[in-house]
Amino acid sequence: MKQLAIIGPTASGKSELAISVAKKIDAYILSIDSLSIYKEINIVSAKPSKSELSDIKHFGIDEIYPNQDFNVDIFIALYNEVIKKCNLDNKNLIIVGGTSFYLKSLLDGLSPLPNISKDIKILVSSNLKTNLNKVYQELYQADKKYMEKISPKDTYRIEKAALIYESSRMTPTQWFLQNPPKPIINNLNIYNIEVDRDTIRKRITYRTKKMYEMGLIDEVCYLEQKYTRFPNAMKSIGIVEVLEYLDMKINKDKMLELISIHTAQLAKRQQTFNKTQFIGVRGASLDKLEEVILSQ
């Protein structure tokens, strides 16, 4: 089975390229997009169309609901299931998306966790519900180096640190030093869509306008009514700005302008991450990258 990854900033044309290549190399697609993972967030996430999804089998799209948590551990488990499916169906795999952190997690791997008993899970869960800040402060005192990188409100990472500490009687720093991560993927070919910032800004502005015309505001209204504003997914670019519009803090034109600006800022961060975190990447413009991929 052959695996490859296509990366690039948001609105650079990754999804369309991946579908085109997948048809030619008989591949499934695994999306690494932090919003497409959610069901019912369709317009904001700029998911492939229903016809595109029906042409090539996709994973990592419409996997969970917006009020459910998603993290790197869940993504690794999803990847392992996708690999099994590819092997069973004799398919290749294309990994594509803008959230390259998940791709890096496959290359770097994750450290194994200690054996965690049911009693410890219950204890930690109870402590977090009773006093999250107390749990955080106790962990901070025991392992400042590790905990200063974690927000006091990051329940998922605090719980993970607490489970490690209670199960192993070692601080997270000590545990990870003794249990280093092992790569999950080796020798992965990565292809990057090279695009200048002016072109990206124009594509983002066009996509933002198209999202509005497709019913962006109605989608966000529906999501807020069903899931409230509390879930992390509701704090995403495209949703936050619409909520400000609905609160009458900004007008429609300002809302669209802010979505475009914030998306362009995201694209810049993505380009920086991809440039600094991956080595041996083959890059080309969108119109030439498919030929580069197929020639390998």
Q: Where do the structural domains in the chain lie, given as residue ranges?
A: 3-109+183-294, 118-178
Residue with tokens 């609901």: 65
Percentage of the chain lying above the pLDDT 70 cut:
100
Please say whether the structural domain 3-109+183-294 has been given the CATH code 3.40.50.300.
yes
The mean pLDDT of the chain is: 95
Reported as type and span, the H/E element at residue 31 is: strand 27-31
Task: Report how far residue 194's alpha carbon sits from residue 44's, in angstroms, rounded to the nearest whole number.
Answer: 24
- Write the pLDDT tens digit of every residue in 103-139: 999 999 988 889 999 999 999 999 999 999 999 999 9
R_g (Cα) of the chain, nearest Å = 21
What mean pLDDT do residues 83-102 have?
96
227-271 pLDDT, tens digit each: 999 999 999 999 999 999 999 999 999 999 999 999 999 999 999
Task: Classify burial at 175, counting beta carbons within 10 Å of its beta carbon; exposed 0-12, middle 13-18, buried 19 or more.
Answer: buried
Q: What integer is the mean pLDDT of 12-18?
A: 96
Alpha helices in the chain (DSSP H): 14-25, 50-55, 72-89, 100-108, 118-130, 132-142, 144-147, 155-168, 172-178, 197-214, 216-227, 240-246, 252-277, 286-294
Q: Tally Cβ neighbours within 10 Å of residue 121.
A: 14
pTM attached to this predicted model:
0.87
Give the distance between the most distant pair of CA atoms in the chain. Answer: 58
pLDDT per residue as tens digits for the range 148-178: 999 998 888 999 999 999 999 999 999 999 9
